[in-house]
Structure 1
């Protein structure tokens, strides 16, 4: 395979001829839209015919998070590239009563199993109204009866619905709840393991053991890594909806998280988080006022094409970005492309991590999955 970066005057036919591949394959693999306009700086995945055999899954654990309202077509297209599907999300009450997603997830579980993908129940502190509430965490993990109630219901739900495990995705855990949270994960894993079910836990992107902040203080990397069967490093959201315009997952920052994580957790237990989205910020950024629009990575390129923007590439963040003007207002877009994802794949290889988990797979991004399969 190769990655080609579009230059001024390029067109699909010329690029295809230079590589000796069909124009149709470039169009299909990169989800180009008729009349197949290109923009300077756009990265194209070029796969040669003898590399386009995707009958087997990548030789790496690859997971994707999905809401129960995912398009059946998108899920069908994505499942062949996954080993795990994290169904988002189950919640619970302050007494440990498990709450199901608002839409039925049975069809997703069955689709996963039919494609040899492990369906995973994702557990988050969602209340009955669907809102995140970290007080639920405090209530359940500090009360033996409530904790046992939740663990028992998780086990029975897994068995009844044919899940393969649980992913604990708790954020903003209070510092004083740190050890109780670790104990909860350990108790859950000890309960599920004899039945062959796995327990994973999502970790905020820490760079040191005593990193301050509500997002970090409740997560003990070493203890959680020992308790769970695997962990997900949530290495995204440096650039976020209400934050300043910057890369969503800058490689220099992602690397710092990985460098710390492998000092606390065996690499074979670690999955790297990868974002399947970008953000479009109106400028100038004003904290508390500016709200970025969430966009897909394929959509980002279409925006650049429609506004004849030149896509730049930040060699430190290893991320693409561009600016454009719409109705007199300047915008800045940061997103992921095959170059930025390849850099993350190389980081996985460098540190011997065991997997890549995507937040989230609601948008179909063919080039990413083809690249994953080719690299692993």
Structure 2
């Protein structure tokens, strides 16, 4: 383990997330931010926003980031780690550029960045790096000194991310009636993305069918299923499935969809299922609507008993994992040899995204990578 109290050379941590509306009047402007440049009419955005309006126009993601922010600060303080933690979003207040500006004015010059996305993909990694580059360019145009930003590595297989999900599955299985519990299937879910984005996810050497995105999710699913088997003595059948598709029907996206999978389970005589949202750090809208509302309704229609296990959220073990990732990277930057914590077959991910990693849809600068214009 790295030194538990030495964050040097870093003088701040930035929690970087997606953002979400916090009232009905925010929904369409938020969706305009998310879809900017795609030419989607406002009327179509109002239709898409119905998911948010069902919940009063409020996405839970910002409150969940506030909870994680508090958990990180509490963990850091308890560990004797004197490092300020800031929060910025890609698509809603507090906006990333505003937060970086605040950090610079507070004198922060070397910033570690934790993105609330655990896996490799364009939308889960490089797009955050592009947003960082955009924010740095804005500060540069204002004549402000530019901080050096380093994005912490992917943490999909860190014990502090995996273990809370294992316990979530065990709790969900315990909620099922005993006659169906042992035969319950595990449906590991993540956000569907275009096949082309999946195939080019991760470093160039990992490109191919499904790329790093699918490979990493499968590794986590095996870890959780194996841990459940060890603790219960039951080998639950499982499958990696997808949700929250949003693209044009003619464009191939990762399948099967969770609702289609529930139908297949029912037709095959499965007695019950547990939906395990391994692709999501917290219970934001894709979890609340696509799983808790839509998929749960489909299961009820089929008469298939189903439960949805918890995401990691602000679990103290996840906060401790973030501290571990930060101090690991800090020690590496100081030139120290560090044993990196990772479970499963894939090992710890890279610190610096190499050239060609999760390539952009269109050529845009991205910070915190080997191709960054901001050294």
TM-score, normalising length from structure 2? 0.26
1 or 2, which has the higher helix percentage?
Answer: 2
